[in-house]
Chain A
């Protein structure tokens, strides 16, 4: 069953169109990274999925209409929207009590054992914790909830590298079991790409690219060629080109223009493009196309 199914999702704030006809299907058991520049509509899309905002179009999350059934949906969906949304006045013990009080899928023992690995005391108030500790606490709460979908919107923004790494490590090793679905957005793409099974690129309220990581590996190539070799590599019609230090980087979509990998390898180093590089390539191509149609 599809975990998320959206068709023609639209949302406008006054004259600003935040979502401009989004079609999205996410199957269960995937870890999807939604990547896009600021203002691309990522948060609005996630908010619609979580029932936090109204929308036009069709949307089903685990079979529910999120806008009408947010409270029911939250029995099976967890989310961390931004860091530091835990109420600052609450004590660690109180937040555990509260979640145990209202959430039937919450396993308090599990949350306590996550917290035992941290320096977070039960009597401390959230306002007394460091930003990293608040993120740890929130993650401990969320991981102890037996949910089917976890949505993370910039969950590590402003955290230092140690906390960020720890965050995604726990997520992958202690939480993800292959049946749950995770949808996340982050600006630190390079830190999560090894975790993802799928990527979705968004720009100006639309999904401009959607692909699984396996597909990226088999379909896209990046060549780091010496500038003088770059010319001959262009015969394979790269769809994006950029200058590195002493190297020209060319990105190829082998599904559209087949390449001779051996010849390419003779021109420089061939590898799978990183998600960040592919994102830049896809977006600049989109920009060119948009410019061309003007």
Chain B
């Protein structure tokens, strides 16, 4: 048993079937105000409200998902993330969450700026395009990579801006975002070594 102890520590239990949600659920302080951008059907917000007592709001473009989110009692409004933040006053939220959404926005840099205008902190989770499988897939097939993380044909993919761990670090530095915490996941395990090569998903806690 003891031989497995360090491995066990690195294991991330899933929340609502997702390991990145588990990290986000860990980061968010109880009772805080949370905005989830691209919140889907509001599962994470519902969990945060029930388990952390957060006051949550969501933005989602897909009408059917918005309906299901509202029906489960989450305050979600239907809007494009690229446009949906402008109305909020500065510092309206403690956390703004971009969970696997950034790569789908048209103007990610602008979204990040807006995120840190309306939120004191941002939580950004994204699939790492630098993962070795992505690289291998492209190297071997010579075609746009298709992996577990990027399962779509290029013409069907909702992802329009691909980024790696290094890319995010570089933009964070240019944008003078302070990275408070960073987490790297491969499946349900935390990655500590060579995250740009080994992490499937990266989660950053950032602030201005």
Whether A associates with B in a native complex is no
